[in-house]
C-alpha cells in the first residue's frame, strides 16, 4: 500500500526534499537520531488492484429501503448515498489527491512506541513561524492540504513574508498512515505529548499549534501541558463551556436562567446535533466492523457528522456548488478505506470517554489562545465564555461563513485567521 521510501521530486517550490529536511534538522544541533527516533521518508502509492476492488465493492452494495421521512431526520437519505456511490464508482479519481499528497514531504517517526505519519513543509522564508496543524474526525490530513502553500509561501498568496509558516501536519494515532495502537491509553492527552515530542524532534525550539475537532482538543491539552517551546494555540472549535453548564447540556436538564441569549443559543446548538456517531464510537467502537467491510457503509457513517455539514455535503452531491466538493468528501473517505482505519480511529472516542474528557468544556489553558468562531460550527462559542476559559485570549473573531471543517471548506478565511491570530506570538520567536 505505502511504505517508507525515497520521495519523488517535489513539484512545489515550498516542498523541500526529504533529504534536505533531514539534513536541516541535524544542522540545527539536534541529537543524532536512534533507530527508533529516526525520521524516515514515506511514500504514498495505493496499488491499482486496491482501487479496482474498491469500485467493485461500491457497485456490489446491498441497498436499504428509502427513509420514511422527507428530510434528514433519520440520517443520510438514500438518494444522497446512492449518488455518492455512483460518483465514487464511475467518476472519482483517487490518483489526483494521491499525487497532491505525494507532492509534499511525507515522513514517519516512532514516538512512544507508535509510528506517526506527518507532512512537513518548510517555508523558504527565514523568519517563518513553525506551526503544527492537527486534524480531527472524520477528517484526515486531506482537511488541511489547502492551507499548505498559502501558509508556507504567503507572498504568492496575498500575504507578506512576515506571515510565513513552517507547517507540520501529523496523522493522529489510528488515522491514515500513522500506526494503529494495539493497547489502550492513546487519549488526547497522550497525543498532545506526542505532538510536542514531534516538534522537538524536528528541531523547533519555539512554535504554535492549531486545530479543530479532535485537533482542537489535542492542542488545548498541549496548552494545558505547556511543553517547552509552545508559544500558544489557535482553535476553530473553542472549548469554552463552563463544566457545570456542559454537564447540564449532556444530561438534558434545564439550563439556568442566568445564561445570556448567546450562551443559551450555544447550549441549544450542542443539543441539536445529538452526536449519535460519537455515542456509538465512545461506547462500542469495535462493533462497527461493517465500516471496514463496506465502503458505502463507511461513507454514510462519516458524512453524517453534524447536521449542518451533513446538509452541505448532501447539497454538494445534488449538484449544488458548496465549500466541500464531492471530490473533497471522497478524498477523505477513500483514504480511510485504503488505510482500513475506521475502527482504529473510532477508538479515540472510547479513549476520550475513559479519560473522562468533555468535548467542549474548559480545559484550563493558560498559554496565549486565539479563537476563530465559524457560524455553522457545532456550536458558536460566546465571547463571554471564551474570555473566562482562556485568560490569555489574544484573538477572538466570528467569521461570516463556514462550518466544522473550516480549513477544508473555507480555506481563505482560515488562512487569514491563522495569519492574524498568531501574529502576536511572532515577537517571541
The residues annotated as belonging to the active site are 213, 349, 404
- DSSP secondary structure of 189-228: HHHHHHHHHHHHHTT-SSEEEEESTHHHHHHHHHHHH--T
Contact status, residue 72 vs residue 303, Cβ threshold 8 Å? no
CA–CA distance, 370 with 210 (Å, rounded to integer): 9
Contact status, residue 164 vs residue 125, Cβ threshold 8 Å? yes
Cell numbers 443520510 correspond to what residue? 76
CA–CA distance, 132 with 144 (Å, rounded to integer): 11
- DSSP secondary structure of 253-300: PPPPTTS-HHHHHHHHHHHHH--HHHHHHHH-GGG-GGGGT-HHHHHH
Contact status, residue 174 vs residue 197, Cβ threshold 8 Å? no
According to DSSP, the β-strands at 2-3 and 43-44 are antiparallel
Neighbours of 56 (CB within 10 A): 11
- Mark 347-371 as b/e (b = at least 16 C-beta within 10 Å): bbbbbbbeeebbbbbbbebebbbbb
According to DSSP, the β-strands at 2-3 and 165-170 are unpaired
Neighbours of 283 (CB within 10 A): 11
Give the phi and the psi of residue 211 in degrees, each rounded to 5: -165, 160
Which residue intervals of 340-410 are DSSP H helices? 342-355, 383-389, 406-409
Amino acid at each position: 500500500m505505502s511504505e517508507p521510501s525515497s520521495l519523488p521530486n517535489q513539484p512545489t517550490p515550498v516542498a523541500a526534499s526529504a533529504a534536505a529536511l533531514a539534513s536541516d534538522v541535524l544542522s540545527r544541533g539536534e541529537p543524532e537520531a536512534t533507530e527508533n527516533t529516526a525520521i524516515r521518508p514515506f511514500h504514498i502509492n495505493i496499488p491499482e488492484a486496491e482501487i479496482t476492488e474498491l469500485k467493485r465493492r461500491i457497485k456490489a452494495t446491498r441497498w436499504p429501503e428509502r427513509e420514511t421521512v422527507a428530510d434528514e431526520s433519520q440520517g443520510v437519505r438514500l438518494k444522497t448515498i446512492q449518488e455518492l456511490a455512483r460518483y465514487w464508482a464511475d467518476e472519482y479519481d483517487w490518483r489526483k489527491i494521491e499525487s497532491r499528497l505525494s507532492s509534499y514531504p511525507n515522513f514517519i517517526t516512532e514516538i512512544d512506541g507508535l509510528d506517526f505519519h506527518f507532512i512537513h513543509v518548510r517555508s523558504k522564508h527565514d523568519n517563518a513561524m513553525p506551526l503544527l496543524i492537527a486534524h480531527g474526525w472524520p477528517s484526515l490530513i486531506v482537511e488541511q492540504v489547502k492551507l499548505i502553500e498559502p501558509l508556507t509561501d504567503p507572498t504568492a498568496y496575498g500575504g507578506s513574508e512576515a506571515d510565513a509558516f513552517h507547517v507540520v501536519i501529523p496523522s493522529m494515532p489510528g488515522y491514515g498512515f500513522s500506526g494503529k495502537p494495539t493497547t489502550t491509553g492513546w487519549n488526547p492527552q497522550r497525543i498532545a505529548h506526542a505532538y510536542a515530542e514531534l516538534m522537538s524532534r524536528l528541531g523547533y525550539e519555539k512554535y504554535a499549534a492549531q486545530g479543530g475537532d479532535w485537533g482542537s482538543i489535542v492542542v488545548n491539552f498541549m496548552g494545558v501541558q505547556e511543553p517547552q517551546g509552545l508559544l500558544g494555540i489557535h482553535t476553530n472549535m473553542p472549548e469554552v463551556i463552563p463544566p457545570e453548564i456542559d454537564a447540564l447540556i449532556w444530561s438534558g436538564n434545564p439550563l439556568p436562567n442566568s445564561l445570556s441569549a448567546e450562551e443559551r443559543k450555544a447550549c441549544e446548538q450542542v443539543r441539536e446535533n445529538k452526536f449519535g456517531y460519537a455515542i456509538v464510537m465512545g461506547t462500542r467502537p469495535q462493533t462497527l466492523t461493517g465500516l471496514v467491510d463496506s465502503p458505502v457503509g463507511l461513507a454514510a457513517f462519516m458524512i453524517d457528522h453534524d447536521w449542518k455539514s451533513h446538509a452541505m455535503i448532501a447539497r454538494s452531491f445534488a449538484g449544488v456548488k458548496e465549500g466541500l466538493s464531492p471530490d473533497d468528501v471522497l478524498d477523505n473517505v477513500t483514504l480511510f478505506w485504503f488505510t482500513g482505519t475506521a475502527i482504529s480511529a473510532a477508538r479515540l472516542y472510547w479513549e476520550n470517554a475513559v479519560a473522562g474528557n468533555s468535548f467542549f468544556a474548559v480545559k484550563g489553558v493558560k498559554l496565549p489562545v486565539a479563537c476563530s468562531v465559524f457560524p455553522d460550527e457545532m456550536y458558536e462559542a460566546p465571547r463571554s465564555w471564551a474570555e473566562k476559559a482562556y485568560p490569555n485570549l489574544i484573538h477572538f473573531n466570528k467569521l461570516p461563513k463556514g462550518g466544522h471543517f473550516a480549513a477544508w471548506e473555507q480555506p481563505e478565511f482560515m488562512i487569514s485567521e491563522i495569519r492574524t491570530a498568531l501574529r502576536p506570538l511572532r515577537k517571541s520567536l
